[in-house]
Structure 1
Amino acid sequence: MSYNDFTIKEVKNFFQLETVEKLGIFSNVEEITISEYLTVTLEENVPLAISINTQKAYSELIIVNMLVEIRKIFNHQISFFSGISFNVDEENNLFGNCDFVMSASHEQLFLNAPITTIIEAKNENIMSHLGQCVAKMVAAKLFNEQEGDNNSKIYGVITSGIAWKFIKLDSNTIYIDLKDYHIDNAGKIIGILAAMIKQEA
Protein backbone atom coordinates (compact mmCIF):
# COMPACT_ATOMS: atom_id res chain seq x y z
CA MET A 1 0.00 0.00 0.00
CA SER A 2 1.20 3.53 -0.80
CA TYR A 3 -0.31 7.02 -1.12
CA ASN A 4 -2.16 6.02 -4.27
CA ASP A 5 -3.98 3.18 -2.55
CA PHE A 6 -5.78 5.30 0.06
CA THR A 7 -9.44 6.21 -0.30
CA ILE A 8 -10.71 9.22 1.66
CA LYS A 9 -12.52 6.88 4.07
CA GLU A 10 -9.38 4.79 4.62
CA VAL A 11 -7.08 7.76 5.22
CA LYS A 12 -9.61 9.30 7.60
CA ASN A 13 -9.87 6.12 9.66
CA PHE A 14 -6.17 5.16 9.50
CA PHE A 15 -4.92 8.55 10.72
CA GLN A 16 -7.97 9.34 12.89
CA LEU A 17 -8.91 12.50 11.05
CA GLU A 18 -12.12 14.51 11.14
CA THR A 19 -13.54 15.87 7.89
CA VAL A 20 -15.49 19.05 7.21
CA GLU A 21 -17.11 19.30 3.78
CA LYS A 22 -18.38 22.72 2.78
CA LEU A 23 -19.04 24.65 -0.40
CA GLY A 24 -16.79 27.67 -0.90
CA ILE A 25 -14.33 27.32 1.99
CA PHE A 26 -11.74 29.26 -0.01
CA SER A 27 -14.21 31.58 -1.77
CA ASN A 28 -13.37 34.60 0.38
CA VAL A 29 -9.69 34.59 -0.58
CA GLU A 30 -8.95 37.63 -2.71
CA GLU A 31 -7.93 37.31 -6.32
CA ILE A 32 -4.48 38.36 -7.47
CA THR A 33 -4.02 40.10 -10.79
CA ILE A 34 -1.94 37.72 -12.85
CA SER A 35 0.95 38.87 -15.02
CA GLU A 36 0.54 39.63 -18.69
CA TYR A 37 2.91 36.75 -19.38
CA LEU A 38 0.66 34.23 -17.62
CA THR A 39 -2.44 35.70 -19.28
CA VAL A 40 -0.95 35.27 -22.75
CA THR A 41 0.46 31.84 -21.88
CA LEU A 42 -2.89 30.53 -20.68
CA GLU A 43 -4.70 31.94 -23.70
CA GLU A 44 -2.34 29.90 -25.87
CA ASN A 45 -1.90 26.81 -23.71
CA VAL A 46 -5.35 26.05 -22.31
CA PRO A 47 -6.98 25.28 -25.69
CA LEU A 48 -3.89 23.28 -26.67
CA ALA A 49 -3.99 21.21 -23.47
CA ILE A 50 -7.71 20.56 -23.96
CA SER A 51 -7.05 19.39 -27.51
CA ILE A 52 -4.22 17.05 -26.48
CA ASN A 53 -6.24 15.93 -23.44
CA THR A 54 -3.56 14.07 -21.48
CA GLN A 55 -2.44 14.54 -17.89
CA LYS A 56 1.08 15.33 -19.12
CA ALA A 57 -0.20 18.10 -21.40
CA TYR A 58 -2.27 19.71 -18.65
CA SER A 59 0.69 19.52 -16.25
CA GLU A 60 3.25 20.97 -18.66
CA LEU A 61 1.08 23.57 -20.37
CA ILE A 62 -1.05 24.85 -17.48
CA ILE A 63 -0.10 23.69 -13.98
CA VAL A 64 3.63 24.37 -14.20
CA ASN A 65 3.00 27.88 -15.52
CA MET A 66 0.66 28.60 -12.61
CA LEU A 67 3.33 27.48 -10.13
CA VAL A 68 6.04 29.52 -11.85
CA GLU A 69 3.75 32.55 -11.49
CA ILE A 70 3.43 31.91 -7.74
CA ARG A 71 7.19 31.64 -7.42
CA LYS A 72 7.57 35.01 -9.18
CA ILE A 73 4.99 36.60 -6.88
CA PHE A 74 7.11 35.53 -3.91
CA ASN A 75 10.31 36.82 -5.54
CA HIS A 76 11.73 33.30 -5.88
CA GLN A 77 11.80 32.89 -2.10
CA ILE A 78 9.66 29.75 -2.31
CA SER A 79 10.30 26.50 -4.15
CA PHE A 80 8.33 23.88 -5.99
CA PHE A 81 9.23 20.37 -7.05
CA SER A 82 7.79 18.10 -9.73
CA GLY A 83 7.59 14.31 -9.75
CA ILE A 84 9.79 13.76 -6.71
CA SER A 85 9.99 10.72 -4.47
CA PHE A 86 8.38 11.50 -1.12
CA ASN A 87 8.99 8.58 1.23
CA VAL A 88 8.22 9.79 4.74
CA ASP A 89 6.96 6.80 6.76
CA GLU A 90 6.82 3.49 4.89
CA GLU A 91 5.58 1.65 7.97
CA ASN A 92 2.39 3.72 7.80
CA ASN A 93 2.14 3.59 3.99
CA LEU A 94 3.29 7.18 3.54
CA PHE A 95 5.51 6.66 0.54
CA GLY A 96 5.46 7.17 -3.21
CA ASN A 97 5.82 10.08 -5.61
CA CYS A 98 4.28 13.55 -5.59
CA ASP A 99 3.20 15.32 -8.74
CA PHE A 100 4.08 18.73 -7.28
CA VAL A 101 5.20 20.00 -3.87
CA MET A 102 5.40 23.65 -2.80
CA SER A 103 7.62 24.73 0.07
CA ALA A 104 7.97 28.08 1.84
CA SER A 105 11.73 27.47 1.79
CA HIS A 106 13.84 29.21 -0.87
CA GLU A 107 15.97 26.06 -1.29
CA GLN A 108 15.46 24.70 -4.80
CA LEU A 109 18.21 22.06 -4.94
CA PHE A 110 16.48 19.84 -2.39
CA LEU A 111 13.14 19.63 -0.61
CA ASN A 112 13.20 21.50 2.67
CA ALA A 113 10.61 22.33 5.34
CA PRO A 114 8.18 23.88 5.60
CA ILE A 115 6.16 22.08 2.96
CA THR A 116 2.94 24.03 2.55
CA THR A 117 1.10 22.49 -0.39
CA ILE A 118 0.76 19.12 -2.12
CA ILE A 119 -0.57 19.33 -5.68
CA GLU A 120 -2.02 16.35 -7.53
CA ALA A 121 -2.41 16.55 -11.30
CA LYS A 122 -5.26 14.28 -12.39
CA ASN A 123 -6.84 14.18 -15.83
CA GLU A 124 -9.92 12.36 -14.49
CA ASN A 125 -12.45 12.40 -11.65
CA ILE A 126 -10.96 14.78 -9.10
CA MET A 127 -13.00 13.55 -6.14
CA SER A 128 -11.71 10.00 -6.55
CA HIS A 129 -8.20 11.20 -5.66
CA LEU A 130 -9.05 12.84 -2.33
CA GLY A 131 -7.66 9.91 -0.33
CA GLN A 132 -4.19 9.91 -1.85
CA CYS A 133 -3.93 13.70 -1.69
CA VAL A 134 -4.87 13.75 2.00
CA ALA A 135 -2.38 10.93 2.70
CA LYS A 136 0.36 13.08 1.17
CA MET A 137 -0.78 16.04 3.25
CA VAL A 138 -0.45 13.91 6.40
CA ALA A 139 3.05 12.94 5.23
CA ALA A 140 3.93 16.61 4.62
CA LYS A 141 2.86 17.48 8.16
CA LEU A 142 5.03 14.64 9.51
CA PHE A 143 7.96 15.71 7.29
CA ASN A 144 7.76 19.27 8.64
CA GLU A 145 7.67 18.01 12.23
CA GLN A 146 10.69 15.78 11.61
CA GLU A 147 12.53 18.86 10.32
CA GLY A 148 11.61 20.83 13.44
CA ASP A 149 8.79 22.84 11.87
CA ASN A 150 5.54 22.37 13.78
CA ASN A 151 3.41 24.43 11.40
CA SER A 152 -0.07 23.00 11.82
CA LYS A 153 -1.59 23.85 8.42
CA ILE A 154 -0.95 21.82 5.28
CA TYR A 155 -2.82 22.43 2.05
CA GLY A 156 -3.73 20.12 -0.78
CA VAL A 157 -4.77 20.72 -4.37
CA ILE A 158 -6.22 18.27 -6.84
CA THR A 159 -6.39 19.68 -10.34
CA SER A 160 -7.01 18.65 -13.90
CA GLY A 161 -5.42 21.92 -14.95
CA ILE A 162 -8.88 23.19 -15.82
CA ALA A 163 -10.66 22.53 -12.49
CA TRP A 164 -8.90 23.11 -9.17
CA LYS A 165 -10.07 21.68 -5.81
CA PHE A 166 -8.57 22.92 -2.55
CA ILE A 167 -8.18 21.12 0.80
CA LYS A 168 -6.76 22.13 4.19
CA LEU A 169 -5.34 19.97 6.98
CA ASP A 170 -5.40 21.86 10.28
CA SER A 171 -4.37 19.75 13.29
CA ASN A 172 -6.43 16.57 12.77
CA THR A 173 -9.23 18.10 10.71
CA ILE A 174 -9.49 17.97 6.94
CA TYR A 175 -11.46 20.82 5.35
CA ILE A 176 -12.66 19.92 1.84
CA ASP A 177 -13.97 22.72 -0.36
CA LEU A 178 -16.77 21.18 -2.41
CA LYS A 179 -16.47 24.02 -4.92
CA ASP A 180 -14.14 23.60 -7.91
CA TYR A 181 -12.33 26.71 -9.16
CA HIS A 182 -11.98 27.05 -12.94
CA ILE A 183 -8.89 28.12 -14.86
CA ASP A 184 -11.00 30.85 -16.47
CA ASN A 185 -10.54 32.65 -13.14
CA ALA A 186 -6.80 32.10 -12.85
CA GLY A 187 -6.44 35.14 -10.59
CA LYS A 188 -8.64 33.48 -7.98
CA ILE A 189 -6.63 30.25 -8.14
CA ILE A 190 -3.36 32.18 -7.85
CA GLY A 191 -4.81 34.12 -4.91
CA ILE A 192 -5.68 30.90 -3.08
CA LEU A 193 -2.27 29.37 -3.78
CA ALA A 194 -0.56 32.54 -2.48
CA ALA A 195 -2.73 32.48 0.65
CA MET A 196 -1.69 28.88 1.22
CA ILE A 197 1.99 29.82 1.09
CA LYS A 198 1.33 32.61 3.61
CA GLN A 199 -0.76 30.27 5.81
CA GLU A 200 -3.74 32.60 5.44
CA ALA A 201 -6.17 30.38 3.51
Structure 2
Amino acid sequence: MAYSDFTPERLRNDFNVTFQGSDLFPQVVSIAPSPWLVEALERANSIGFGSEKSRSERLVTPILLELAKRNQHQFAILSGAYLDIDPARGLNGECDFIFSFTRLQDFVLAPVFCITEAKKQDVEQGTAQCAAQLVGAAQLNERDKKPVSRLYGCSTTGIEWRFLCFENNVFTLDETRYLISDPGKLLGVLQQIVDVTRAQTQPIVAL
Protein backbone atom coordinates (compact mmCIF):
# COMPACT_ATOMS: atom_id res chain seq x y z
CA MET A 1 0.00 0.00 0.00
CA ALA A 2 1.03 3.59 -0.63
CA TYR A 3 -0.40 7.12 -0.73
CA SER A 4 -1.80 6.53 -4.21
CA ASP A 5 -3.94 3.63 -2.92
CA PHE A 6 -5.99 5.74 -0.52
CA THR A 7 -9.62 6.67 -0.98
CA PRO A 8 -11.59 9.10 1.23
CA GLU A 9 -13.38 6.14 2.80
CA ARG A 10 -10.12 4.41 3.70
CA LEU A 11 -8.72 7.61 5.15
CA ARG A 12 -11.80 7.96 7.34
CA ASN A 13 -11.60 4.36 8.50
CA ASP A 14 -7.84 4.14 9.03
CA PHE A 15 -7.12 7.56 10.54
CA ASN A 16 -10.48 8.74 11.92
CA VAL A 17 -10.51 11.86 9.76
CA THR A 18 -13.51 13.72 8.40
CA PHE A 19 -14.10 15.75 5.25
CA GLN A 20 -15.96 19.00 4.71
CA GLY A 21 -16.20 21.70 2.07
CA SER A 22 -15.64 25.42 2.44
CA ASP A 23 -14.23 28.49 0.74
CA LEU A 24 -10.65 28.38 2.04
CA PHE A 25 -9.49 31.67 0.55
CA PRO A 26 -12.43 34.09 0.50
CA GLN A 27 -10.24 37.20 0.45
CA VAL A 28 -7.35 36.11 -1.73
CA VAL A 29 -5.35 38.98 -3.20
CA SER A 30 -4.20 38.47 -6.77
CA ILE A 31 -0.45 38.83 -7.38
CA ALA A 32 0.77 40.04 -10.74
CA PRO A 33 2.96 37.35 -12.34
CA SER A 34 6.45 38.33 -13.43
CA PRO A 35 7.26 38.67 -17.13
CA TRP A 36 9.33 35.47 -16.77
CA LEU A 37 6.32 33.49 -15.53
CA VAL A 38 4.05 34.90 -18.22
CA GLU A 39 6.54 33.87 -20.89
CA ALA A 40 7.09 30.42 -19.34
CA LEU A 41 3.36 29.67 -19.34
CA GLU A 42 2.97 31.01 -22.88
CA ARG A 43 5.76 28.73 -24.06
CA ALA A 44 4.18 25.78 -22.23
CA ASN A 45 0.88 26.39 -23.98
CA SER A 46 2.56 26.66 -27.37
CA ILE A 47 4.60 23.47 -26.88
CA GLY A 48 1.79 21.45 -25.30
CA PHE A 49 1.73 19.01 -22.39
CA GLY A 50 0.32 15.59 -23.14
CA SER A 51 1.73 13.66 -20.19
CA GLU A 52 1.46 14.05 -16.44
CA LYS A 53 5.20 14.68 -16.28
CA SER A 54 5.13 17.42 -18.92
CA ARG A 55 2.24 19.19 -17.18
CA SER A 56 4.19 19.07 -13.93
CA GLU A 57 7.35 20.45 -15.53
CA ARG A 58 5.80 23.07 -17.79
CA LEU A 59 2.83 24.34 -15.78
CA VAL A 60 3.27 23.50 -12.09
CA THR A 61 7.02 24.03 -11.68
CA PRO A 62 7.09 27.62 -13.05
CA ILE A 63 4.33 28.66 -10.63
CA LEU A 64 6.19 27.16 -7.67
CA LEU A 65 9.53 28.68 -8.73
CA GLU A 66 7.87 32.08 -8.93
CA LEU A 67 6.47 31.61 -5.42
CA ALA A 68 9.88 30.59 -4.03
CA LYS A 69 11.58 33.62 -5.58
CA ARG A 70 8.92 35.98 -4.21
CA ASN A 71 9.76 34.69 -0.74
CA GLN A 72 13.55 34.90 -1.09
CA HIS A 73 13.76 31.09 -1.07
CA GLN A 74 13.00 30.93 2.64
CA PHE A 75 11.57 27.45 2.12
CA ALA A 76 12.47 24.46 0.01
CA ILE A 77 10.28 22.94 -2.68
CA LEU A 78 11.33 19.33 -3.11
CA SER A 79 10.32 17.55 -6.30
CA GLY A 80 9.77 13.80 -6.44
CA ALA A 81 10.79 13.27 -2.81
CA TYR A 82 9.71 10.23 -0.81
CA LEU A 83 7.71 10.67 2.38
CA ASP A 84 8.04 7.25 3.99
CA ILE A 85 6.58 7.71 7.46
CA ASP A 86 4.62 4.53 8.30
CA PRO A 87 4.68 1.97 5.45
CA ALA A 88 2.69 -0.54 7.50
CA ARG A 89 -0.26 1.87 7.36
CA GLY A 90 0.30 2.95 3.77
CA LEU A 91 1.97 6.26 4.59
CA ASN A 92 4.78 5.91 2.11
CA GLY A 93 5.59 6.80 -1.46
CA GLU A 94 6.60 9.65 -3.70
CA CYS A 95 5.21 13.18 -3.54
CA ASP A 96 5.32 15.42 -6.58
CA PHE A 97 6.16 18.58 -4.61
CA ILE A 98 6.78 19.07 -0.88
CA PHE A 99 7.09 22.52 0.71
CA SER A 100 9.27 22.66 3.83
CA PHE A 101 10.68 25.52 5.87
CA THR A 102 14.27 24.53 5.32
CA ARG A 103 16.95 25.49 2.82
CA LEU A 104 18.05 21.89 2.36
CA GLN A 105 16.92 20.40 -0.97
CA ASP A 106 18.38 16.91 -0.55
CA PHE A 107 15.68 15.23 1.53
CA VAL A 108 12.51 15.99 3.46
CA LEU A 109 12.82 17.70 6.83
CA ALA A 110 10.13 19.01 9.15
CA PRO A 111 8.29 21.24 9.22
CA VAL A 112 6.45 20.33 6.03
CA PHE A 113 3.63 22.78 5.39
CA CYS A 114 2.22 22.07 1.92
CA ILE A 115 2.15 19.24 -0.61
CA THR A 116 1.16 19.54 -4.26
CA GLU A 117 0.16 16.46 -6.22
CA ALA A 118 0.08 16.77 -10.00
CA LYS A 119 -2.29 14.39 -11.79
CA LYS A 120 -2.85 14.16 -15.51
CA GLN A 121 -6.65 14.19 -15.45
CA ASP A 122 -8.16 13.03 -12.14
CA VAL A 123 -8.25 15.91 -9.62
CA GLU A 124 -10.49 13.91 -7.27
CA GLN A 125 -8.11 10.95 -7.02
CA GLY A 126 -5.24 13.36 -6.66
CA THR A 127 -7.08 14.98 -3.76
CA ALA A 128 -7.36 11.67 -1.89
CA GLN A 129 -3.68 10.94 -2.53
CA CYS A 130 -2.68 14.43 -1.38
CA ALA A 131 -4.84 14.05 1.74
CA ALA A 132 -3.01 10.85 2.65
CA GLN A 133 0.31 12.62 2.15
CA LEU A 134 -0.80 15.37 4.52
CA VAL A 135 -1.49 12.73 7.17
CA GLY A 136 2.08 11.52 6.66
CA ALA A 137 3.43 15.08 6.80
CA ALA A 138 1.58 15.75 10.05
CA GLN A 139 3.13 12.64 11.59
CA LEU A 140 6.60 13.69 10.38
CA ASN A 141 6.18 17.14 11.93
CA GLU A 142 4.96 15.67 15.22
CA ARG A 143 7.77 13.11 15.30
CA ASP A 144 10.38 15.82 14.80
CA LYS A 145 8.67 18.12 17.32
CA LYS A 146 7.94 20.80 14.72
CA PRO A 147 4.15 20.65 14.56
CA VAL A 148 2.18 22.83 12.15
CA SER A 149 -1.45 23.12 13.18
CA ARG A 150 -2.82 23.64 9.67
CA LEU A 151 -1.27 21.83 6.70
CA TYR A 152 -2.15 22.64 3.10
CA GLY A 153 -2.27 20.52 -0.01
CA CYS A 154 -3.23 20.82 -3.64
CA SER A 155 -4.29 18.45 -6.39
CA THR A 156 -3.72 19.83 -9.85
CA THR A 157 -3.79 18.85 -13.48
CA GLY A 158 -1.57 21.85 -14.12
CA ILE A 159 -4.58 23.59 -15.63
CA GLU A 160 -7.02 23.15 -12.73
CA TRP A 161 -5.92 23.49 -9.09
CA ARG A 162 -7.91 22.27 -6.07
CA PHE A 163 -6.69 23.13 -2.57
CA LEU A 164 -7.35 21.46 0.77
CA CYS A 165 -6.20 21.87 4.34
CA PHE A 166 -5.79 19.46 7.25
CA GLU A 167 -6.36 20.60 10.82
CA ASN A 168 -7.53 18.75 13.96
CA ASN A 169 -8.13 15.59 11.92
CA VAL A 170 -10.48 17.44 9.56
CA PHE A 171 -9.87 17.86 5.84
CA THR A 172 -11.44 20.97 4.36
CA LEU A 173 -11.74 20.89 0.59
CA ASP A 174 -11.81 24.25 -1.13
CA GLU A 175 -15.06 24.74 -3.03
CA THR A 176 -13.30 27.09 -5.45
CA ARG A 177 -11.20 25.71 -8.30
CA TYR A 178 -8.35 27.86 -9.60
CA LEU A 179 -7.10 27.87 -13.17
CA ILE A 180 -3.66 28.37 -14.68
CA SER A 181 -5.28 30.92 -16.98
CA ASP A 182 -5.42 33.24 -13.94
CA PRO A 183 -1.89 32.85 -12.51
CA GLY A 184 -2.25 35.98 -10.39
CA LYS A 185 -5.07 34.52 -8.35
CA LEU A 186 -3.23 31.20 -8.09
CA LEU A 187 -0.09 32.94 -6.80
CA GLY A 188 -2.25 34.83 -4.34
CA VAL A 189 -3.57 31.59 -2.85
CA LEU A 190 -0.11 30.06 -2.59
CA GLN A 191 1.29 33.22 -1.00
CA GLN A 192 -1.50 33.16 1.55
CA ILE A 193 -0.56 29.58 2.43
CA VAL A 194 3.05 30.65 2.97
CA ASP A 195 2.00 33.65 5.07
CA VAL A 196 -0.40 31.65 7.26
CA THR A 197 2.21 28.99 7.89
CA ARG A 198 4.98 31.48 8.56
CA ALA A 199 2.79 32.96 11.28
CA GLN A 200 2.54 29.52 12.92
CA THR A 201 6.20 28.57 12.93
CA GLN A 202 9.60 30.14 12.65
CA PRO A 203 11.50 29.22 9.49
CA ILE A 204 14.31 26.78 10.13
CA VAL A 205 17.56 26.95 8.18
CA ALA A 206 19.26 23.59 7.79
CA LEU A 207 23.03 23.81 7.52
Which residue of the partner structure matches residue 4 of structure 1? 4
Question: Which of residues 35, 53, 56 is equivalent to 1:56?
Answer: 53
Q: Report the number of matched residues.
A: 198
What CA deviation, in whole Å up to 9, does each residue of 1:8-54 have, x standing for no partner? 121122111121113x32242211122111011111213423xx421
Query: Counterparts of 1:47 and 1:171 in 2: how far apart (Å)?
Result: 43
Q: Which structure 1 residue ranges, 4+ long, deviate > 3 Å from structure 2?
A: none
Match of 2:128 in 1: 131
Q: Aligned letter for 1:84?
A: A
Residues 1:35 and 2:21 aligned together: no
CA distance in 1, matches of 2:147, 2:178: 29
The runs of 5 or more residues in structure 1 that have no matched partner are: none
The superposition leaves residues 124-157 of structure 1 with CA deviations (integer Å, 9 ceiling, x where unpaired) of 1211222211000010111111111121111110
Q: 1:143 aligns with which of 140, 146, 161?
A: 140
One-letter amino acid of the counterpart of residue 36, structure 1: P
- Within 1, Cα distance between the matches of 2:100 and 2:37? 21
- Aligned-partner Cα distance in 2 for 1:152–1:47: 41
Match of 1:185 in 2: 182
Maintained 8 Å contact 1:19/1:175: yes
Return the match for 2:83 from 66, 79, 86. 86
1:155·1:167 contact (CA, 8 Å) conserved in 2? Answer: yes
* Counterpart position of 1:169: 166
> What is the TM-score when the length of structure 2 is the normalising length?
0.90
Structure 2 counterpart of 1:156, one-letter code:
G
Aligned to 1:20: 20
Cα deviation, 1:135-188, whole Å, max 9, x if unaligned, reads 000101111111111211111100011000000001211100132100011111
CA distance in 2, matches of 1:129, 1:39: 26
Does structure 2 retain, via aligned residues, the 8 Å contact 1:9–1:131? no
> Normalising by the residue count of structure 1, what TM-score does the alignment of the two structures yield?
0.92
User: Contact between 2:21 and 2:175, CA under 8 Å: does it hold in 1?
Assistant: yes
C-alpha change, 1:27 and 1:45, in structure 2 (3 Å) is farther
What corresponds to 2:45 in structure 1? 46
Q: Match of 2:153?
A: 156
Structure 2 residues not aligned, in runs of 5+: 200-207
CA contact (8 A) 1:29 1:191 kept: yes
Identity across aligned pairs (percent)? Answer: 32
